[in-house]
Chain A
């Protein structure tokens, strides 16, 4: 998997493209966006060692299927974080969509398509509100999205009274629960895996498009990007819309997977942010790779599965999770600096160059080479 982490902006002979493929893979693996794949592999080995049957393809594909919603949410959160903002409203958006699905569709199959349309519309609207309040009203996104989170949470409570209503019709739930039967090797190919792949491929293409380049530039230095001709408010608003739409897709999958309950989606924003940080994306924006965020989500879920397999005492579980996450993120960043500084003390110039150039207002190069590692 880590082969694909090789940095993508290849056309201009950046240092990243030099050397043999093996060298490039190793170099990619020690970047923050690459290390998460190493982490993923290590966790996977640990899980398989404690439960060998986990490595069998049918079980593995099922695991990927159930991780799809959080991976999609993490990729959505990535757009916002890489643009220098936060989206705390994700979990509330998921819960809202789940409740809409339960209340609006009910047992009426004819409402499945209108419902999906309605949910996407609601998702986009939340994103627009988040984006405009952050960019035009200049309220910090932390506060704006906290506000939308509370507002949507209240709406869910109002609609449900805080308790579960009935599940929507089974055909709708198939999206998150069913799959294509009779596939060789994996038996059943869950629809959620297909949706995850589509979303991921779409995301990668998007990040290679002018929009993606500008998004990273904006996150790195909004002033520079603005001077370079970017309309910062529109770029960031679109990032928020992408985030809310991702949460919507996650919500659709979760209704299928789990059913309707107001607690579905609880804590999703923090899981998504943790996944993004594990994926080496810098809080504050401007750096990080989309697929690393998805890999971060998989690493998190593997960790949770690992704790399940090891039967860690239920009252201890959250503490263990929290500690491992903090240690993983903290030590990782630290160890890199420690391991690196004695080796090449006078080396900062090559890495500094791209960022300095982005910091200097330069209309000709709108931050395209800030790098995605």
Chain B
């Protein structure tokens, strides 16, 4: 019991120390009101943002994606999920097969609304191909956002899955490379989509243009609608995921070049965090723009402006219905960048071509174009009755079960 008595007390010194640390941070700022001299504060990273983004910034890829934004796509624009940019094709004559084949799908996760929407669409596409006798069944393993689980899933498919083809949506780039190569070594077709891996052994790699294109579209929109010196709050979900980092790397570069003051935060897509961040920024000074690396939580950001009584910002969100609706309701100046959700149909359609022996693009780059204010009404109408987590460019209007399956949003 004595132990408690001596440890119980706490002192004013704690408060003092906190005060010192606190003011130490403020010495970094030009308008610092601090009188303390403590220099060894941990907040020394003022100059690090550019270093950080340079890690993710890839000039060559940036230039490629910059070009691809205005490229012409082969195929029928009414079926964007089958469109691609002309380039190297993979000959698949050896894969031609008779009868229904079994597909094995190693999925990274369905832990966000974007992946859930895509997953529903994919299952409806599967139904079509099952009915037409192309695919017998699709065995799916969900890795729950875990690299190790997904590697084990792929190895299971290779050794015991009895698979005729592999579809892989990698959880992360570097970690999954070896496992994808092992799948390629089986000599069966391998379709990789969404995030990439560091090998080109796959029969086809399907993805929309990419993160840099997103960053360029969104940053340019904000730059056009704001003035030099305006402040933009960038809400980012989490660090370290290439598609997200590339979005920010491109946007940050453009903001810097055009004199937009941008400050970035990680939110974990938690609306509570988003609201606090925006409120604090507003109480510090005016915020003219909001940039998001994904639209999840966009509504909370707008609500924070409403609750504060501040003028609504110029904002880029995503083609998620919650944002699209709030955008229309508030009438703010906005843009809905799109990371084409319809790409979830393409892997199965690619398998159909492969089993028929038709050639497919080695790198299958799908169209990716943002929804502008002029197009908004059209997409809102087309997706009337869809839940908030639904994505406007889901591309499943011609599939069986439309629209009930997406409206009820039963995750298969």
Instruction: Answer whether residue A32 sits at the interface, using C-beta atoms and an 8 A cutoff.
Output: yes
* A246 CB to nearest B CB, Å: 17
Instruction: Answer whether residue A22 sits at the interface, using C-beta atoms and an 8 A cutoff.
Output: no
Contact status A30-B9, CB under 8 Å: yes
* A223 CB to nearest B CB, Å: 12
Instruction: Answer whether residue A236 sits at the interface, using C-beta atoms and an 8 A cutoff.
Output: no
Report the Cα distance A254→B275, complex, angstroms. 11
Instruction: Answer whether residue A186 sits at the interface, using C-beta atoms and an 8 A cutoff.
Output: no
Name the residue of chain B whose CB is nearest to the CB of A166: B388
Name the residue of chain A whose CB is nearest to the CB of B272: A258
Contact status B17-A263, CB under 8 Å: no
* Chain A residues, Cβ within 8 Å of B113: 163-164
Instruction: Answer whether residue B207 sits at the interface, using C-beta atoms and an 8 A cutoff.
Output: no
Chain A: interface secondary structure? helix
Encoded as 1 (CB less than 8 Å from any B CB) or 0, chain A from 190 to 224 comes to 00000000000000000000000000000011000
Instruction: Answer whether residue A10 sits at the interface, using C-beta atoms and an 8 A cutoff.
Output: no
Report the Cα distance A358→B4, complex, angstroms. 13
Instruction: Answer whether residue A272 sits at the interface, using C-beta atoms and an 8 A cutoff.
Output: no
Interface residues in B395-412 by Cβ distance below 8 A to A read: 411
Stretch with Cβ within 8 A of B (4 or more), from A71-79, A120-128, A135-143, A336-344 = A336-344
Given contacts A315-B52, A320-B42, A327-B21, contact A287 B268 (CB under 8 A): no
* Chain B residues, Cβ within 8 Å of A270: none
Chain B, interface size: which category? Answer: 35 or more
Report the Cα distance A258→B21, complex, angstroms. 31
Interface residues in B30-56 by Cβ distance below 8 A to A read: 33, 42-43, 45-46, 48-49, 52
Report the Cα distance A311→B297, complex, angstroms. 21
Contact status B10-A280, CB under 8 Å: yes
Report the Cα distance A339→B112, complex, angstroms. 53
* Chain B residues, Cβ within 8 Å of A329: 10, 14
Chain A, interface size: which category? Answer: 35 or more
Name the residue of chain A whose CB is nearest to the CB of B45: A313
Instruction: Answer whether residue B259 sits at the interface, using C-beta atoms and an 8 A cutoff.
Output: no
Instruction: Answer whether residue B11 sits at the interface, using C-beta atoms and an 8 A cutoff.
Output: yes
Contact status A167-B388, CB under 8 Å: yes
Q: Which residue from B4, B8, B272, B281 sits with its C-beta under 8 Å from A257?
A: B272
Instruction: Answer whether residue B331 sits at the interface, using C-beta atoms and an 8 A cutoff.
Output: no
Report the Cα distance A126→B284, complex, angstroms. 41
Instruction: Answer whether residue A25 sits at the interface, using C-beta atoms and an 8 A cutoff.
Output: no
Contact status B14-A331, CB under 8 Å: yes
Encoded as 1 (CB less than 8 Å from any A CB) or 0, chain B from 15 to 35 comes to 111110111011011000100
Given contacts A29-B12, A35-B14, A254-B272, contact A53 B283 (CB under 8 A): yes
Given contacts A258-B272, A355-B1, contact A315 B239 (CB under 8 A): yes
Contact status B277-A161, CB under 8 Å: no
Contact status B264-A161, CB under 8 Å: no
Report the Cα distance A351→B128, complex, angstroms. 78
Name the residue of chain A whose CB is nearest to the CB of B297: A261
Q: List residues of chain A with CB under 8 Å of any chain B CB.
A: 29-32, 35-36, 38-39, 41-43, 45-46, 49-51, 53-54, 59, 62, 66, 161-167, 177, 220-221, 254, 257-259, 261, 263-264, 266, 280, 282, 284, 286-287, 303-317, 319-320, 323-324, 327-329, 331-333, 335-337, 339-340, 348, 351-352, 355-356, 358-359
A53-B284, A164-B388 are known; give 15 further A-B pairs, CB within 8 A: A30-B9, A30-B12, A32-B8, A46-B18, A163-B110, A259-B300, A280-B8, A314-B266, A315-B52, A316-B43, A316-B45, A319-B42, A328-B15, A336-B10, A336-B13
A–B pairs, 9, beta carbons within 8 Å: A30-B12, A38-B12, A46-B26, A59-B283, A164-B389, A258-B270, A258-B271, A340-B9, A355-B1
